[in-house]
Structure formats: structure tokens, C-alpha cells
Amino acid sequence: MAKAAALPLARLLQLASPALPVGAYSYSQGLESAVEAGVVHDRASAQQWINDVAALSLARWELPLLAKLIAAWQGGPDAAMINARFLASRESAELRAETVQMGYSLARLAAQLEIPRHEELEAIEEPVFPTAFAFFVAAWKLPVREALSAYLWSWMENAVMAAVKCVPLGQTDAQRALLDLGDHIDTLVTEALDLDEDAMAPSLPRMALLSARHETQYSRLFRS
């Protein structure tokens, strides 16, 4: 039983790992623009930014759609339709390019690892990252709640590491931020799973504007 329980955990850790070859480290999702604008300037403001994005965007939009995508790959509604819905929600060219590039990379990995039914993922014209992530969750028969937690943790970790580079933050401050942010994961996942369809929507206009401004920012470390 212990061995059976350990395998899904190992698969979730693999999906959430910075070693996943999708290039997540090269994106800041508007954080670099927030630093340039002075909105983010220390650990407290960086942590607030990351927590706000998690609460107002991921928990209210990305995570609920991820749950729907997992259900789709398990035999529910058409994943391509949900994929198009998420793609249409990306407010800037950089945010759109980010999720398409990461989704393409993860779909290619599925083919290289010969994951069953990977052809169905490749058949989607522009698979976004949540679609590809959900495909792996369904293929590996991973629990949905834990998969959403792993997805959110991976996003938080990447956001904090982006803050380390562009705020900049020290490694100890980064670990303090991760400790605090991690405390919110269970609450945010619960909110995402309980959210009504009519209430699903991202609500971060300032992030969208800063992301668009990043496209012409003079000095950049990140692609978004």
C-alpha cells in the first residue's frame, strides 16, 4: 500500500518540478513589469503580488479550468473547447505566447515519453499548458485535488524564483515567501473546486496592462 501511494506522489512531484522541460523559468507573468513600475520592490510587495494573482486569477479561473480539463481527458467534455476558452482569456501577446509555448513543450514530452493517447493532445492546434498538464494527470490517474495543489505550488515557486532575480530577493526571503504562500494552497484549491461556472473569471486588469507594457520594456530578464 505504501508503494502504491508513493507512485502518484512521485508523478505529481515530477509534474511540479522545475526540471519539467517547458521553460517556465523564463517567464515572470508581468512581475518584471511590476518591479519596473515600482509596484513590487521587496519581499512583502512581491509576496502580495504573487498571492493576489493566485487568489484573483488562478483560483478563480486557471485552476477551475484545469479541473474541467482533467475531467475532459478522463472522458468528459471536449478538451479542445476548454483549451480554446483558456487561450481566449490571455489578455496580452506575451501571456498567450507563454501558455502556448509551455503547452507545446509538454505535449512534445508526452509524445517522446510515449504516453498513451498523446496523439489526441497533439491534435489540438495550440494546446495550452493547463491542457497538457491535465492530460498527464488523467493519463497517470492522479487525484484531482492533489494535482491542482501541485500545479499551484509549481506556479508559486516559479513566481518566487522570478522575484529572486528581478526584485531582487535573497534566498532566505524567497523561502519565507514560499512558506507563507504555501499556507494558502489548500484554501485556494478548495475555492477553485467549489466555484460555480458563472463565477469563473480572472480579475486582474492591472496585471494585464503591466504584461502588455512588458512587451516594449527596455531592459528585460524574462519573456513575459
Percent of the chain past pLDDT 90, that is, above it, reads 84
Question: In the chain, what is the greatest distance between 2 CA atoms, to the nearest angstrom?
Answer: 55
Domains of the chain from N-terminus onward: 29-214 (1.10.4190.10)
Of 49, 31, 89, the residue nearest 65 (C-alpha): 89
pLDDT in tens, the chain (224 residues): 455 568 899 999 999 999 999 999 999 999 999 999 999 999 999 999 999 999 999 999 999 999 999 999 999 779 999 999 999 999 999 999 999 999 999 999 999 999 999 999 999 999 999 999 999 999 999 999 999 999 999 999 999 999 999 999 999 999 999 999 999 999 999 999 999 999 999 888 888 898 988 888 878 889 88
The overall pTM is greater than 0.85: yes
The H or E element containing residue 116 is: none
Cell 508513493 maps to which residue? Answer: 6
Q: How many helices (H) and strands (E) does the chain have?
A: 12, 0
pLDDT at 28: 94
In angstroms, the CA 106 to CA 86 distance is 17
- One-letter amino acid for residue 63 of the chain: L
Of the chain, the percentage scoring pLDDT greater than 70 comes to 98
pLDDT tens digits, one per residue of 104-125: 999 999 999 999 999 999 999 9
pLDDT of residue 79: 96
